[in-house]
Copies of this chain bind each other. A is one copy, B any other.
Amino acid sequence: MSMHYDEGKEKFIQAWGTLGSAWGINKAMGQIHALLLISEEALSTEEVMEELQISRGNANMNIRALIDWGIVSKAYKPGERKEYFTTGKDVLELARQVSRERRRREIEPVMRVLEEMQQVEGDTAEVAHFKTVTKDLEGFTKQVDGALDKFIRSDKNWFFQVLMRLMK
């Protein structure tokens, strides 16, 4: 029923990587994030390479990507030239950041396309149906987008209050 640290660590990193791929983030990116999450100290590229058995190029590119997503940041150690990396340990803040990015990268482009669809011309039933469906999608997407925006801007208390109320 118990488990050694190394085994647990391995399992967690694996699981986080898998979750990553299911969500369109790549595996290595998820694994690096997991590793930084459970590490109290900031890690260097070398250390990441070593722990995950991946190449320098791979480590570097995925660390960059995590920085782009705004969920990993650089840390310099006094007197050291090397770069180290950490990720915030606040899960809510992480969720917020991921929401922010996905909203920007995925929801917004699709919303723009859906809006455009109202410009389709023609008075056939086919066109009418097309516009109805895309308008519905647009309406729904807008609602979700608005809620997401609220979440992104909200503070901790607001979020947990909403969750609580939501679950009655």
Contact = CB atoms under 8 A, between A and B. Distances in A.
A6 to B, nearest CB: 9
Interface residues of A, number: 61
Given A11-B116, A119-B3, A22 B106 contact: yes
Listed residue (A124, A137, A144, A166) with the most chain B CB atoms within 10 angstroms of its CB: A166
Interface stretch (A42-50, A52-60, A71-79, A89-97): A89-97
A85 interface: no
A117 B119 CA distance: 53
B140 A167 contact: no
Task: Kindly report how many copies of this chain are found in the complex they form together.
Answer: 2
Interface string A113-157: 110110111101111011001101101100110110010000000
A137 B38 CA distance: 11
Given A8-B116, A38-B130, A40-B129, 12 more contacts: A2-B121, A11-B116, A12-B130, A12-B134, A15-B113, A19-B106, A22-B24, A24-B24, A38-B133, A147-B163, A150-B167, A165-B165
Interface of A: 1-5, 7-9, 11-12, 15-16, 18-19, 21-24, 37-38, 40, 89, 91-92, 95, 105-106, 109-110, 113-114, 116-117, 119-122, 124-127, 129-130, 133-134, 136-137, 139-140, 143-144, 146-147, 150, 160, 162-163, 165-168
